[in-house]
Amino acid sequence: MNFDYSDDQKFLKSEARKFLDARATAKVNRAVLDDPSKSYDPELWTAVAEMGWLGAAIPEEFGGLGLGHIDLCAIAEELGRVVAPIPFASTVYFFAEAVLLAGTEAQKADLLPRIASGELIGCFATSEGPGAATAASLSTTVIDGSINGVKIPVTDGDIAHKAIVLASEGGKPGLFIVDLAEVGKETLKTLDPSRSAAKLTFSGQAAERLGAVGDGIALMEAVFDRAAVLVAFEQVGGADKCLEMAKEYALGRYAFGRTIAGYQAIKHKLADIYVKNELARSNAYYGAWALNTSAPELPIAASAARIAGCEAFWFAAKENVQTHGGMGFTWAVDAHLYYRRAKQLGLVAGAARSWKERLVSQLERRNAA
């Protein structure tokens, strides 16, 4: 049994923590959060690119480090811990994974090296309004290689150079690579301003097919499976940090003549967070294994990692605010950075309720077989 990070991966993770503790402090997040003109921190982005993290799971032949997905998971956990204000998820978990999954050799050779170097910011555009995107609801279309329609919201759509877009061609859904230079972009106000989102308006720009015609929904789901595992590690990292913040604050806060960390109401609350975090970590590890080995179990493993990750981070984030009491509700205390990010991550890879349905329909099929 070898169900944990390797020593090398643990080393990578601890180096990542040191680096991020120095470079991605809460102040760095707040600089983006507090300034409506900023969508991300370009300096941190460049630094992360220099560390090679953007290409951790990109093969060496395409300019990456070729380490594999478990190493990328270790990095994701640390990025989640510091609520990093950079378009890492959009570019690496979604855009790069989609290209790795469905790209031709030419597309990989064109795009992946530019992602690994930090030159290309990517995004994944599927949503067109309230509710999850489906083949039937899709109104963005591609005709003769030109794309028309509106995507809202698209995480990092305002800063991305290219998007992978879900659109229908001849009535069949497909994924398309679109250069965003000429596409209409409107930055949107969101719950977590440390991560930006945009409305993208396509008006006849060139769209290059990614993967086969008609495979759009299946491909989108496959990309979501991969991204869900990676996002789950960010969620675990964030949830762990919330538990640490709550613990530290409770130990130092005195009420009724003693530290509030000694009250069972607080002790049991933090024990509940710990339990959820460990369940989320174990499910995330299984997702990492399935992703790294392209196992047929990936859709089920990714669903479980996603559901447990959403539950753990949201619970830890909201109970961290609660443990901080009135202080937790202020802008000055960092608890809300995690509260916002928990919701942001809980939605950008699809809401947990959709994943629960996806999980149960798969269990149903397995049970019937």
Where do contacts with another protein occur on this chain (CB under 8 A)?
1-6, 70, 243, 247, 250-251, 258-259, 261-262, 264, 266-268, 270-272, 274-275, 278-283, 285-286, 288-289, 292-293, 303-304, 307-308, 311, 353, 355-357, 359-360, 363-364, 367
In the three-class reduction of DSSP (H, G, I as helix; E, B as strand; rest coil), residue 359 is classed as helix
Name which of 23 and 356 has its Cβ closer to another protein.
356
Report the alpha-carbon distance of residue 72 to residue 88 in Å, rounded.
11
Closer of 15 and 278 to another protein (Cβ): 278
Distance from C-alpha of 183 to C-alpha of 152, rounded to nearest angstrom: 13
Nearest CA-CA partner of 268 in 258, 257, 276, 280: 276
**Is 7 or 144 the residue whose CB approaches another protein more closely?**
7
Beta carbon nearer to another protein, 6 or 104: 6
- φ/ψ region of 145 (left if φ > 0, alpha if ψ in -120 to 50, else beta) reads left
Please state whether beta strands 162-169 and 122-125 pair in parallel, antiparallel, or not at all (unpaired): parallel
80 CB-near residues (< 8 Å, 6+ apart): 233, 234, 235, 236, 237, 238, 241, 313, 341, 345
For the CB of residue 243, give the shortest distance to another protein in the complex, in Å. 8
- How near is the Cβ of 8 to another protein at its closest, in Å? 12
Cβ closest to another protein, residue 40 vs residue 289: 289
Q: Least distance (Å) from another protein to the CB of residue 235?
A: 13
DSSP summary character for residue 329: G
* Residue 327: CB minimum distance to another protein, A: 19
Q: Closest distance between another protein and the C-beta of residue 254, in Å? A: 12
Query: Whats the size of the chain, residue-wise?
Result: 369
Q: Between 5 and 314, name the residue whose CB sits nearer to another protein.
A: 5
Rounded distance, CA 107 to CA 198, Å? Answer: 25
Q: Nearest distance from residue 186's CB to another protein, in Å?
A: 35
How many CB atoms neighbour CB 144 within 10 A?
Answer: 7
